[in-house]
Structure 1
Amino acid sequence: MSAITLKPLAEQTIVITGATSGIGLATARRAAAAGAAVVLVARDGAAAETEADALKANGLRAAGFAADVGDADQVEAISAFAVATFGGFDTWVNNAGVGIYAPLIDTPLADHQALFQTNYWGVVHGSTAAVRHFQSRPGSGALINMGSIQSDFAGPLLGAYTASKHAVKGYTDALRIELLRAKAPISVSLIKPSAIGTPFPQHGRNLTGSKARLPPPLYAPNVVAEAVLHAAQTPVRALTVGAAGRLQVIASTLSPDLFDRLAGFTDLALLDRARPEPSARPDNLDTSTNDGARLEQGEQKGRPFSLYTGAHTHPALAAGLVAVAGLGALAGLKQTLTARAFGKGSRR
């Protein structure tokens, strides 16, 4: 296989879909601050351009572009725009996604299909455009697809979303195998966030009649952005963001029957049944909410760090922390042994 050598962020151009909200917005801002040229893609083109202008006003490199990732032609236009604006791109991040809060049996077929058009076909369209671009030029490239911890297990009320994330994982893993077989120098990564404090509940379609929310513990979008940008520079197969999510994946693997029974009660954490919410409110299933760039939601804030994720994205730092902890333990042991020896001597 051809060696995969990814550039430092300051030398990269990065395309990010779903770039005006939550994880995508956090990633775009961090990438630009690190020196990368960023193409912010969203259905709300005005929001994408406004955010790009704000970055450029601070001396950073950015451009906004309006596109619906569910449309293959529009996704090809993203690639052409990146080539025309920055001469190409080095990393493509398929981040755009939508959600539906509803039992599967009550989810209208048209809604289910619309969700897959964005969450699954958007990844297929973006991956195809990215791989074709990488194959047309020398050097390595990074394709980063946004999965979820629900790529590995399921739960109630977000069944359509879960199914789409399972599909994204299957597609991503199969594409990686094919590119390995072809000896293509393309890194293919799947990022699997735990619950993240983004506007997902406000943007998702809600057919339950109760206010939607996310199950705690939550992590901040910047925690995922750090994982994404790590994968943009270091080839990584998959990375789960947040120890809470990793523990759920392990539990679902070790004891699937018990996990299924317990998971059936997670709807209690997904809905606030004391607060009604009309199903007719605006959402982003079929079109943009046109509410501008929003990093986080107002009510549920995520914790700003994950030691588990940091250990994977900063292994040297993790090793240092382990070493410090080890030295601390040795110092404590030495002190205990000295105290015991001194105590024995005084009794003699």
Structure 2
Amino acid sequence: MELTRNQVEAQLASIQDRYLGQDLITAKMLKELKVSGDQVTLKLVQGYPAGAYKDELQAEVIASLKQIGASFVSLQFDTVINAHAVQKTVKRHDGIKNIIAVASGKGGVGKSTTAVNLALALLADGAKVGILDADIYGPSQPRMLGISGQPVSDDGRSLQPMQNHGLKAMSIGFLIEEDTPMIWRGPMVTQALEQLLNDTQWGDLDYLVVDLPPGTGDIQLTLSQKIPVSGAIIVTTPQDIALLDARKGLKMFEKVEVPILGVVENMSMHVCSNCGHVEHIFGSGGGESMAEQYQVAYLGGLPLDIQIREQADSGHPTVVADPHGKIAGLYHEIARKATARLARQSKDYSAKFPTIKIQNV
């Protein structure tokens, strides 16, 4: 049976990428296509780390093309993560394609636990990832990642990031004793954070996840204006008081022109470990209604589960402690949804253009 290019493209247009929410043609994933009789050779490129879903989608494409008469399908399926645009007033960091800020309007909603598990999920899905603990007053990433000791400097000017579970990390917590309070004013905090970002030898990263301090005060606003952020994730819990503050965080990013990748509702429900009864201790549906109100994506909900806390406290967050478990699966879903939304945003083409310098001679 002779196949035409139009037939193949029409079939590809009937296949949806689950996380992009677009078909393969609309998403511009098709990069090469050759049709010879009933044999099809094609190349698809996905713009976000999809992990096991990439294999699932590849199998779906091959099966779908065979349904319309292809006797042989040669499919090259690549992942290419691009750098995406940041605030107009901030220069993108060399070597770091995308900075994703994880923020909350208030403390105690599980933002840091969410941030580290999302970073580890992206890493497990095949991306090059780092995490910057921007909570100068209450750094928690050293404990959550099970990292002790201090970073080394090879040149006396910059620091090598600390690592565990394959994740590159930097935190003020590596430079001070764990029980030492940071009694600093705002300008010192923002300067320290800029140094942690700029003076760390991150190497090449697809994503740097920044665990921001809670709140929406002067420090958070200054940080969001000085750090080149490609997108932000807002973490909240379902109760009204947390949602009030989460809305403020969302509006803050809107004001500084940082795209909101979506809302994560932490502690959505509690499942009794004895009887399996589900109880919405902090209410239900708050994160979804907030996302709907502000027309942003609802990335998913996470349960109030003792294992999440125990695993983070032990230095083995859920995604590495129980990689095939249900909760780790939820973190993977949220990470893929967020980075797929980022992949749909405009790319940063600044590196494509030459720098023009005018000199008097």
Q: Do both share a fold (TM > 0.5)?
A: no
Higher helix content, 1 or 2: 1
Classify the TM-score, shorter chain. 0.3 to 0.5
What is the TM-score when the length of structure 2 is the normalising length?
0.37
Higher strand content, 1 or 2: 2
What is the TM-score when the length of structure 1 is the normalising length?
0.38
